[in-house]
Amino acid sequence: MTNPRTVEVVDIAGQLIAIVTSRGDNGIEIIDVSDPDEPTSLSNCADGDGTQSCGATSLADPWGVATYTKDGSTYAVVTSNDDKSIEIIDVTTPASPESVGRVQNTTYLNLATFLKITTIGDSTYAVVASSGTKTTSSHVTMVDITDPANPQVGGSLTDTASILLKGPKSIDVYTVGDSTYAVVAAQEDDGIVIVDISNPNALTSVASFGDTDSSCSDDGGHSDGNCELNGATGLEIFSIGSSTYVVVTSRADNGVQIIDITTPSSPDAVGQVEDDGDTILHNPRGVDVFSIGTSTYALVSNCGGGGCAGGGIEVLDISDPTAPTTVGEDGARLANDNILGASYSTVYTLSNSTGKYVYAITLGYENDTVEIIHLGSEPTVTITSSSGSSGDTINSRVFSYTVTFSLTTSDFTIEDITVTGTANAGSPEASNFAGSGTTYTFDVVVSSSGTVSVSVPAGKATHTTTGHDNTASNTYTLTTQDKGSSTCARLVILGNCGTIAINNDEYQIIDPWSTVPTTEVMVGEPVSITISTPHNFATGKINSVSVYTEIFNSPTNYELGSHIDYSIMKSDYYVSESEFFQVAGATHRIVQDTDVKNLEMFEVVFTMVFAKPMDTSHVVVETENMHGIPETIYLSNALKVIERPIELLTYEEKSKFELISEPELKASPSFDMDIEPDMDMLAIDPEPVVSKVTCGNGTILKDNLCVANEMSFYFFINQFMVLFG
């Protein structure tokens, strides 16, 4: 590749492809830059008679290149200075480019230089700048490329004494309202011209802005009282807030000018940078605008003196267009033997799981090189939630979130999280913030129904190494239903803020038939089933509760399963049909709601320990209120008990899992009797009467648990005989 001139990067099916125009080779080079450390040349397309591999015939002295997509295909449009034309090449398969169309025009495309592609209405156009010869005029011309195989020349604007359009080079496009405008750098007229291209067949000049405009001296900071527009060459449009600007390079002034073009008819100079001992703005040509975090930068390519010998790149911070500044020594400028004559560059980004990385592709015109330079990195941000998937409607009073940065960050606080929505009367807030480095957590406590949306805006956390700010995160939205709303009142007892919890999994029951996530425990682990209702809700005051498990078929057959009955009045419980568990207890209590002030909850808690694995079982809860009104809640597939690794069981734990079922027996007998031997030596507890559980050797059932049997009567007699022979 000889004398690379301009470059465009496009994403084609996940590949980042750089298309470089080569003046010396009369063609283009196609390079895969997906891996910036190892760019790979895939193919090229050179000018010929139509018999060469790509079929191009109008690529002599190529200048500008731009890309667009049509019907799933990607096309590169290349201007030819010598052929007075544009060539359209299908690059959908980067390794096999194919020319599909071209158009020549000796008047309007004479010495075509740069171009910009835009859409107006349903049509796609290439806006082409052509400088003409010393005896012919310069033009800005519209070429309809909607049909890549049949491009058509449309309207054109010609250079005149009142229109600063002589020697047009770079061109860019922007919209204001319903109108579309092109801004063109006029190198020989030392300025820019703004053209209304809303009607592609009738272009009109809106304003011209030259090196000696009155706002240049008003702006101040110009050594000669003029703008940095002498030999205007490169330009690009950018926006800050609600204002639109164009940054222009001046090859003769060795500087950069920023002009406010928010009102197309009234451009106004606002800021500039001149070459000095701290910059390498020497014969600047191309300029490309990019952002990292919340800052906006301009990458300026400098050709150097002596016919593009030397030069390099300069990075300017243009976040404040009225006061552009050089970024500094570290990565802000680069001049080396690999990029002699840096005529034009482009910036592209590469995003992956570790962050967003910004690179520049710089062309060394004199030494025939393509250099890839890392400009900066941005941490990416992802929000997830253990409470549900984004978009879900869930029954929970606490939403828990995790914020994950791709790179280590600092100065991220709870104030950096944006929380909006209709929940909590339209004012949900983040709380319980914790974390550092790459991972942070927080909660949103919900007290009323509605939506909660959380996000992290760009620029809230700083990458510890580079100092660059984060990109914007995804927005995570969850919806909750008010536990005190009328939708809950369909049930008598649990329908008014009442809940059922299996261990730490709590569910608000709106419908008698509910499918909930399966709570999974191991053999030997306690299982607590908690029924909760507001203490001051008279109709919902619980008089008795029964919990049914070991239900493997239809939940309607729950009466065939095992159950625990609890009477609030008697503070007593009863077990029936237990095949898998031994009861550890049942009780009731009054507790303070942790999320709602001044709300006490009445709870009935059942605790059981399973002696062996149990397949996924339904859980059914029967309640009866103080007026004798019953209520039955069906929780489908709510509980499963899995085998516990035997190596984790102690001797005592193994012994207590030798269970024999004897239905309809009381599960909490009293063993408060003492037996004394004939010798007045030691008071011991007796062997208990075995009811439902047979314990292993060396253990006894005490308070419903098998414990070590070191003081049993059998043990005492045995030791006594050994002691006295």
Say how far apart CA 533 and CA 132 lie, in whole Å. Answer: 86
In a domain, 126, yes or no: no
* pLDDT tens, position by position, 167-208: 999 999 999 999 999 999 999 999 999 999 999 999 999 999
Q: Which whole number is the average pLDDT over 53-72?
A: 93
CATH number at residue 424: 2.60.40
pLDDT value of position 701: 52
Let me know whether 625 and 567 are in one domain. Answer: yes
Q: Which residue has the higher pLDDT, 679 or 350?
A: 350
pLDDT value of position 344: 85
pLDDT value of position 682: 36
Q: Which whole number is the average pLDDT over 668-679?
A: 42
Let me know whether 627 and 686 are in one domain. Answer: no
Using DSSP bridges, classify how beta strands 630-642 and 519-522 pair: parallel, antiparallel or unpaired. parallel
Q: How many helices (H) and strands (E) does the chain have?
A: 5, 50
pLDDT value of position 659: 40
Instruction: Tell me what percent of the residues of the chain surpass a pLDDT of 70.
Output: 79
Let me know whether 528 and 612 are in one domain. Answer: yes
* pLDDT tens, position by position, 230-287: 999 999 999 999 999 999 999 889 899 999 999 999 999 999 998 876 677 888 999 9
Say how far apart CA 598 and CA 74 lie, in whole Å. Answer: 65
- Buried b / exposed e over 367-384, threshold 16 CB at 10 Å, is ebbbbbbebbbbbbbebe
In a domain, 432, yes or no: yes
Say how far apart CA 497 and CA 499 lie, in whole Å. Answer: 7
- Residues with Cβ < 8 Å from 37, sequence gap 6 or more? none
- Residue 574 pLDDT > 90: no
pLDDT band, residue 676 (cuts 50/70/90): very low
- The two structure tokens encoding residue 209: 């802005």
Q: Which residue has the higher pLDDT, 700 or 560?
A: 560
pLDDT value of position 673: 41
CB 315 within 8 A of CB 326: yes
- Residue 350 pLDDT > 60: yes
Say how far apart CA 258 and CA 234 lie, in whole Å. Answer: 12
533-to-491, 515, 547, 594 alpha-carbon distances in Å: 12, 20, 16, 14
Out of 20-34, 585-599, 627-641, least confident range: 585-599
In a domain, 404, yes or no: yes
pLDDT value of position 216: 83
- Residue 331 pLDDT > 50: no
Q: Which residue has the higher pLDDT, 557 or 276?
A: 557
Using DSSP bridges, classify how beta strands 630-642 and 513-515 pair: parallel, antiparallel or unpaired. parallel
Residue with tokens 């970024």: 327
- Residue 296 pLDDT > 80: yes
pLDDT band, residue 479 (cuts 50/70/90): very high
Of how many residues is the chain composed? 725
pLDDT value of position 543: 84
Let me know whether 631 and 500 are in one domain. Answer: yes
- The two structure tokens encoding residue 365: 């015109």
Count of domains for the chain: 3
- Residue 320 pLDDT > 80: yes
In a domain, 437, yes or no: yes
Q: In whole numbers, what is the pLDDT of the chain averaged over residues?
A: 82
Distance between start and end Cα atoms, the chain:
107
Closest CA to 326 of 335, 317, 313, 336: 317
pLDDT value of position 672: 43
Let me know whether 473 and 393 are in one domain. Answer: yes
pLDDT value of position 624: 86
Q: Which residue has the higher pLDDT, 547 or 341?
A: 547
In a domain, 471, yes or no: yes
pLDDT value of position 139: 96
In a domain, 294, yes or no: no
pLDDT value of position 467: 73
Let me know whether 490 and 401 are in one domain. Answer: no
pLDDT value of position 474: 94
* pLDDT tens, position by position, 91-140: 999 999 999 999 999 899 999 999 999 999 999 999 999 998 877 899 99
Let me know whether 637 and 594 are in one domain. Answer: yes
Say how far apart CA 112 and CA 101 lie, in whole Å. Answer: 17
Q: Alpha helix (H) ranges present in 89-134?
A: none
pLDDT value of position 223: 57
- Residue 400 pLDDT > 80: yes
In a domain, 620, yes or no: yes
pTM value?
A: 0.61
User: Please, is 688 exposed, middle or buried when counting C-beta atoms within 10 Å of its C-beta (0-12, 13-18, 19+)?
Assistant: middle
- Residue 292 pLDDT > 60: yes
Distance of CA 99 to the CA centre of its chain: 39
In a domain, 142, yes or no: no
- The residue out of 429, 445, 480 marking a domain boundary is 480
CB 293 within 8 A of CB 237: no
Q: Where is 722: in which H helix or E strand?
A: helix 713-724
- The residue out of 613, 646, 679 marking a domain boundary is 646
Distance of CA 69 to the CA centre of its chain: 26
Let me know whether 474 and 494 are in one domain. Answer: no
Say how far apart CA 255 and CA 340 lie, in whole Å. Answer: 19
CB 407 within 8 A of CB 557: no
Out of 34-38, 280-284, 655-659, least confident range: 655-659
pLDDT band, residue 588 (cuts 50/70/90): confident
Say how far apart CA 179 and CA 174 lie, in whole Å. Answer: 9
pLDDT value of position 383: 96
pLDDT value of position 49: 60
Q: Which whole number is the average pLDDT over 433-449?
A: 89
Let me know whether 469 and 507 are in one domain. Answer: no
Let me know whether 639 and 704 are in one domain. Answer: no
CATH number at residue 640: 2.60.40.10
Domain that holds residue 448: 381-480
Which 3 state secondary structure label does DSSP give 633?
strand
pLDDT value of position 334: 53
Residue with tokens 């209405």: 121
pLDDT value of position 698: 47
E strand residue ranges, 412-557: 418-420, 430-445, 450-455, 462-463, 476-480, 499-502, 505-508, 513-515, 519-522, 526-534, 542-551
Q: Which residue has the higher pLDDT, 595 or 515?
A: 515
pLDDT band, residue 649 (cuts 50/70/90): low
Identity of the residue numbered 625: N
Instruction: Tell me what percent of the residues of the chain surpass a pLDDT of 90.
Output: 47
pLDDT value of position 444: 92
pLDDT value of position 669: 41
pLDDT band, residue 658 (cuts 50/70/90): very low
- Residue 563 pLDDT > 70: yes
- The residue out of 480, 510, 532 marking a domain boundary is 480
Let me know whether 497 and 637 are in one domain. Answer: yes
Q: Which whole number is the average pLDDT over 633-660?
A: 67
Let me know whether 575 and 700 are in one domain. Answer: no
Which 3 state secondary structure label does DSSP give 225?
coil
